[in-house]
């Protein structure tokens, strides 16, 4: 079998690969058959497969269809023939436009998230408050039927200041008398008790204390630059020791205006007590008295 004659060519047969052997311009190949729009005669056997046709040209039932340069398909319409008369312009090349965000949707989503968080926090707070209430004892569990009296700390009574009196409040006896001729007395108005240099002269101080015991008693006085002393009697009981009234101010002899003080231990009872300063035999009584006071309780 050769390419010129296959032995099976029958009238009307067509080479399906004939377009591969056809030269440009539509001219036929070997055998002189073929051409634009030419058809092979019926009943004439083909002697060669070298006949070629234009690309796209096929014969079906004697009708020739060709799609080549210069021919248009009846079903095709150019863009300029469409309504509007202008060719549609292709979109210009460039970076793709960014996607449009739905801000409203984002806002709704954010509000929903916040709402969920708030609800969760509220539930947690309610749970915690409920637990705290369970842990606390209820008032009905702790209150008894009878109220106990409140125990307030015992307040100590405020102590009354220890007594202190001027010479004008003393009870005088014998030749003792008040005066204010000598300056510098520390009592109110400068009043003092003088005239104590005669036996039997006395000045009695009445005082009150809250607690019994021994106290330190002070006496303010003045002497004429010489040591003096008086007899001390407490609650009608004479003290064997005279009250020492020395020249502690170092006053010159005859100078009465140098006032000083001395003290003596005295036993006192709770309540009212009397202390008497007197000039007795054996005393040196040239002395003036301006004040008497208690300082503190001593052993």
Pair 221, 261: CB distance under 8 Å: yes
What's the distance, Cα to Cα, between the start and end of the chain in Å?
162
* Backbone CA torsion sign across 78, 82, 86, 92: negative
Structure tokens at 165: 């009196």
Structure tokens at 127: 């749970």
- Min mean pLDDT across 50-64, 243-257, 258-272 is at 50-64
Does residue 236 surpass a pLDDT of 80?
yes
Q: What is the pLDDT of residue 219?
A: 98
Q: What is the pLDDT of residue 152?
A: 58
Instruction: Enter the DSSP assignment of 272.
Output: E
CB crowding 113-134: b at 16 or more within 10 Å, else e:
eeeeeeeeeeeeeeeeeeeeee
Give the whole-angstrom CA distance, residue 165 versus residue 168: 8
Question: Per-residue pLDDT tens for 177-212?
Answer: 999 999 999 999 999 999 999 999 999 999 999 999
Give the number of other Cβ atoms within 10 Å of residue 234's Cβ.
19
Q: What is the pLDDT of residue 4?
A: 47
Number of H helices, E strands in the chain: 2, 14
Q: What is the pLDDT of residue 63?
A: 44
Question: Per-residue pLDDT tens for 93-102?
Answer: 555 555 566 6
Residue 122 φ then ψ, to 5°: -60, -40
Q: What is the mean predicted confidence (pLDDT) over 217-236?
A: 97
Residues 6 or more apart in contact with residue 136 via CB below 8 angstroms: none
Q: What is the pLDDT of residue 83?
A: 56
Q: What is the mean predicted confidence (pLDDT) over 26-48?
A: 48
Mean pLDDT of the chain: 74
Q: What is the pLDDT of residue 232?
A: 98
pLDDT band (50, 70, 90) for residue 5: very low
Give the whole-angstrom CA distance, residue 9 versus residue 292: 170
Pair 42, 12: CB distance under 8 Å: yes
């Amino acid at each position: 079998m050769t390419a010129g004659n296959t032995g099976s060519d029958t009238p009307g047969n067509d080479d399906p690969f004939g377009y591969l052997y056809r030269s440009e311009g539509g001219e036929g190949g070997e055998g002189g058959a073929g051409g634009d729009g030419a058809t092979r005669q019926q009943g004439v056997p083909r002697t060669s497969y070298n006949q070629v046709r234009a690309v796209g040209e096929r014969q079906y039932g004697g009708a020739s269809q060709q799609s080549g340069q210069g021919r248009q398909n009846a079903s095709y319409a150019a863009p300029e023939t469409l309504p509007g008369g202008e060719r549609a312009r292709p979109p210009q090349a460039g970076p793709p436009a960014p996607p449009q965000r739905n801000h409203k949707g984002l806002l709704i989503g954010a509000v929903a998230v916040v709402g969920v968080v708030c609800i969760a926090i509220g539930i947690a707070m309610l749970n915690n408050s409920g637990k705290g209430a369970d842990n606390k004892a209820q008032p009905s569990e702790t209150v008894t039927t009878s109220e106990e009296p409140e125990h307030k700390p015992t307040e100590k009574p405020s102590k009354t200041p220890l007594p202190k009196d001027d010479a004008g409040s003393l009870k005088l006896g014998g030749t003792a008398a008040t005066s204010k001729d000598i300056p510098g007395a520390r009592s109110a108005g400068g009043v003092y008790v003088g005239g104590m240099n005669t036996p039997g002269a006395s000045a009695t101080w009445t005082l009150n204390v809250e607690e019994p015991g021994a106290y330190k008693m002070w006496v303010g006085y003045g002497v004429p630059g010489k040591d003096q002393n008086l007899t001390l009697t407490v609650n009608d009981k004479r003290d064997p020791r005279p009250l020492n009234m020395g020249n502690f101010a170092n006053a010159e002899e005859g100078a009465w205006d140098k006032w000083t003080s001395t003290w003596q231990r005295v036993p006192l009872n709770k309540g009212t007590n009397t202390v008497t300063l007197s000039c007795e035999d054996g005393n040196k009584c040239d002395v003036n008295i301006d004040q008497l006071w208690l300082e503190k309780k001593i052993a």
